[in-house]
Amino acid sequence: QVQLVESGGGLMQPGGSLRLSCAASRTIFSHQPMGWYRQAPGKQRELVAAITSDSTNYADSVKVRFTISRDNAKNTVYLQMNSLKPEDTAVYYCFANYGLRTYWGQGTQVTVSS
């Protein structure tokens, strides 16, 4: 069993920055993916970014603006979000693969509005 605790969401003006954090309750091996999905109202959940020891992947809509990183010693994954746009407004969910299962955080709201 893995618990994921997210933090860092909130309200930000367009063009601003936010940093999301997600701490896992146990060690996630570096070769197993951790990352973030998001779900906007009325839309399907979509992959934002994922990271393993070998690779990072980003949705086309966030490339250049968002950066995912991982601190394996702290079992924590981060999402640095720059140049935020109103269309980035969504609930952001952390995920981690452990064994054969995918675990999810509770979600954190990100709202980009002036």
Tens digit of each residue's pLDDT (9 = 90 or more) over 65-102: 999 999 999 999 999 999 999 999 999 999 999 989 99
The residue-averaged pLDDT of 22-46 equals: 95
d(C-alpha 87, C-alpha 66), whole Å: 14
Which are the contacts of 40, defined by CB distance < 8 A and separation ≥ 6?
87, 89, 90, 91
Q: pLDDT grade, residue 38 (50/70/90)?
A: very high
In whole angstroms, what is the distance from residue 107 CA to residue 90 CA? Answer: 10
Question: What pLDDT is attached to residue 12?
Answer: 97
pLDDT > 70 in the chain, percent: 100
Please compute the mean of the pLDDT values over residues 3-25 and round it to a whole number.
97
pLDDT, position 83: 98
Burial of 23 (0-12, 13-18, 19+ CB in 10 A): middle
pLDDT at 34: 97
Q: Which pLDDT score is estimated for 69?
A: 97
Half-sphere exposure of 68 (CA within 13 A, CB side): 24
Q: Taking all residues of the chain, what is their mean pLDDT, rounded to a whole number?
A: 96
Helices (DSSP H) in 1-114: which residue ranges?
none
Q: Residue 85's Cα: distance from chain center in Å?
A: 16
User: What gap in Å lies between CA 23 and CA 4, rounded to an integer?
Assistant: 6
* pLDDT for residue 48: 98
Residue pair 16/4 in contact (Cβ under 8 Å)? The answer is no
Mean pLDDT over 37-58 rounds to: 96
Pair of tokens at residue 70: 């991982």
